[in-house]
Every structure is written in C-alpha cells, then in structure tokens.
Amino acid sequence: MPPRASACPGLVRIVAARDGGICRIRLPGGALSAAQARAIAAASMRHASGVIELTNRANLQLRGVRDGHEAALSAALIRARLGPATAACSTASFAASSTASSASLPACPATAAGCADDVRNVMISPIAGRDPSALIDTAPLCADLLALLQGDARCAALSPKFALLVDGGERLARLDHPHDVWLAASAGEDGVRFVFGLAGCPGPSANVDEPRNANGTGALAAVAPSRVLALVRALLHTFVDLAAADATRMRDLLATHSADALLQHAQRYVDFPLARDATLGHWQRQNPADASLRLGAHAQRDGGLWHVGGQPPLGRLDAATLRRLAALAQRHGNGILHATPWQSVLLPDIPAQAVPAVLAELSALGLACDPAQPIAHVIACAGSSGCAKGLADTKADALRLAARLPDGVDVHLSGCMRSCAAAHCAPYTLLAVAPGRYDLHRRDGRPGFGQCVAPQLTIDEAAAFLARLARSNPDV
C-alpha cells in the first residue's frame, strides 16, 4: 500500500514554518532517557533555534530548524535512538547527506524511516505501571503495539494523524482526545478486559457539555488483554482495506461503513469472535481522571516512590532547561523523563526524601508545579510569530491573559481554525480574528469551538469577560 501524503512534521520530514523548520520527535509512551534529552538539547542548538515544544500527544518538536541542517538534525536524533525501531534508513546514509538542502532530501514518508516514524502514535498514561488506581500496566502493551505499527508494512498506509489510545484505568489519563481506536481496561468477574471503540474517547462523559463519542461508536465490545494486539492489527488492516485514498481517520471510514460492517470485515483477521456486545451500549469508564495529578508530587504504587511534575509556560522549553531536567532525573529519579499530553514534564520514581528538592528545582526552572497557577490553565498554538496562518501572536497574548485569568478557568488560544494546540474542545477558546483581537467561544456541544459568546475582544477585554462568567457560574 502506498503511504498517505501528509504535511505533518516528523523526524525526517521537516516542515517549513514562519520561524523555520519543525521537526517532531515521537516518544514511545511519552518517555525519553536523560541521554536522549541531552542529545535533543544539543541538536536543537546546533541545527535549530533551541526552542523545544511539548505537544498534546506527549511528543516533542524542535522549532526553527535551519535551512540546510535538516538531514544532519535527523541523523543526530536517529543516533540518539529517537527514531523508529525498524527504520531501514541508516544513520550513515543521513550523515552522508547532512550538507544537502531540504529540496534534495529523500521524499518522506516514502522512506522506510519516514513511514515507520509516522505511525508511532500510541498514547498511554505518563504514569502507566505506577498509578495506584490502574487496573493494568499498559506500558508493555504500548511497546507491542509500537512494534506492530513499525513492523507491519501495511501500516505505512496509515495517516500520521491516525492514533491509538490504551487506557489502563489510571487517575492521570488524557481521555478527551478523540482517537481512531481506543481501548480501556475494565474490571469484571473474569478479570481485566479491554473495552474498545472507534473514533472517540473512553469517557466518562459526566460534567461534559458534549457527548464524547459524537463522531464515533462508543464501546463496541471487549477482549482479553492477550488478544489486544490481534484485535488492533485486524482493525488497522480493515481500515487499510476499506478506506478511500483521501480518508485519513477512522471517522472518515465510519461515514461510509457501519461499525458492525467494520467488525465483520475485521473478523477475517482474528480467530476469536468479534461482534458488537449490546451490554456495553452504555459503558463508561468508572474511575474519574484528574489532570491536576500531572503537577506537583504524588505517591506511586510502589511504596516510598513519587512522581513529580511541572508545566513550562505554554509547553515551551529551551535547550538549557531540558538539560537541567535530564540532570534532575538522573540525580533523583530513574534517569527517565516523561512528556505528558498536557504539554508538561513528569519525573517518576523519586524517593520521598528527594521530593522537596525536585519541586524546588522545577519551580526554579520556571515550571508551574501547582494546579492553581493560572499558566497551567492556558494553552496556545505557535501564533503569528511562528505560523503563516496565525492571525495573532497567541503565545505573547496567552502570557498576558494568564496574568489576569480567573481561578480554575481553562482557555485555549488558537491563531486560526485549525486548532493545532488542542485536539479536544476546551471550555473556552479565544479564536484570533486579527492581531490582538479574538472571538471568545464557549464549549456547548456544537461542532468546532462551540458558541461564540463575545466577538472582537482584546486580551484585557477577554480577561474581564471571563472573570464575569466565572463570578456568574462558580463551577465554570
């Protein structure tokens, strides 16, 4: 199957932006070693602007990649084992072309490295295997799924946006991003099973204005953990078999085929029954998720160990900060950093006696460690300073807004309709319409950003409007 064309950045596909090229590094399960973090920091300074962004899929991306440095940057990252495990393109081949211009680089994702890199989209909790509330450790399953995605040649036909979610029942879990295939651990009389659905989220949907699975299937059926790999392979092959050339997401396939038809087609790839389970029609995840657990210090399942997290302003780090985070993980933890899908950083396996020192260091680096800090409630895209489509400098405006944001109000600033900073619908979205001016949208179940409640606001006006809304609705 030919790979689907894409404009998404990748490890070897450097995409041009207003502030230079963008290189996206997909992290297996959101994890990277201290040595890899130092390699990223060095490469970002040598070949790019030194700006490192955390993404809403728990990946990293380097901004400002310099013209003529693309191949050398990819080679450096592959040498640091940040590329796909089954990439056929060798480091030597990249290094040999390190002086080439971007126009002369191999077309991607037509290369084996590009194809295998594109499909490494499996999201799990950043504390998988460590959360006291989890029903199962999803980290081994994530590794198996990544091996499937990278090793199965037919997966090259998947879009770089095609994504899987494996939820182990953790309290710290991102459940509001729609995924093409989602699996959620559920406890029953016969042990843990994985409920699954297509083009949606596991829920629960309580206290959310719009249904989680408005464009998806909800829960379809459940399988034993030992059958998850075969199930996912069957669903991926079904997508490749049936999706039109311009279909990139499972929701596109569901627009032309029923969920039952997809399960019937997938049945040919597995030797166990695969049909809709009517008893799961109203299934919801019972354990509520709490995104605030990404910040501060929290006890892990193993006695005496904690995970400590902090959020850099608007998800951006510089090279020096990333190096210091790597040193911190080595000095007090297990030498591993975890990027989270909230654009924050988490250090696991910290002994209790070291927690105060780690929190102090994160705060000294400028990271928010308290969920009450306003900057932890604001996200923003690159804006006009980094993107030609941006109508306003969302990064600068977001910092101004955070200084005046009412307590507990979550806001997303988007420079255009594409909503690059958020895969979910935020409670409030400021959509740029001109430099320094935004339409304020409130989530209400409508498509897109929701209802426009106030047009053409300055940042100061938006802050005042949000404050009035917060006073009139304490649960905002």
pLDDT class of 214 with cuts at 50, 70, 90: low
CA-CA-CA-CA torsion sign (338, 344, 350, 354): positive
- pLDDT at position 113 is 66
* 353 part of a folded domain: yes
The b/e string for 226-238 (b: 16+ C-beta within 10 A; e otherwise) is ebbebbbbbbbbb
Q: Are residues 220 and 261 in the same domain?
A: yes
- pLDDT at position 97 is 34
Q: Are residues 221 and 99 in the same domain?
A: no
* 3 part of a folded domain: no
| Residue 448 neighbours by CB distance under 10 Å | 13
Is the per-residue pLDDT at 369 higher than 80?
yes
Residue with tokens 């909230």: 342
Count of domains forming the chain: 4
Query: Of residues 169 and 472, which shows the higher confidence score?
Result: 169
pTM of the shown model: 0.90
Averaged pLDDT, 294-298: 98
Q: Are residues 135 and 164 in the same domain?
A: yes
Q: Are residues 271 and 237 in the same domain?
A: yes
Q: Are residues 404 and 295 in the same domain?
A: no
Q: Are residues 27 and 133 in the same domain?
A: no
Residue ranges making up the domain that contains 322: 291-371
Is the per-residue pLDDT at 149 higher than 90?
yes
- pLDDT at position 207 is 35
Averaged pLDDT, 362-383: 97
Is the per-residue pLDDT at 208 higher than 50?
no
* 6 part of a folded domain: no
Q: Are residues 456 and 394 in the same domain?
A: yes
Q: Are residues 128 and 275 in the same domain?
A: yes
Cβ neighbours of residue 424 closer than 8 Å, sequence gap 6 or more: 176, 177, 178
CATH of the domain at 331: 3.90.480.10
CATH of the domain at 404: 3.30.413.10
pLDDT tens digit string along 309-345? 999 999 999 999 999 999 999 999 999 999 999 999 9
Instruction: Out of 348, 371, 394, pick the residue that ends a domain.
Output: 371
Q: Are residues 141 and 186 in the same domain?
A: yes
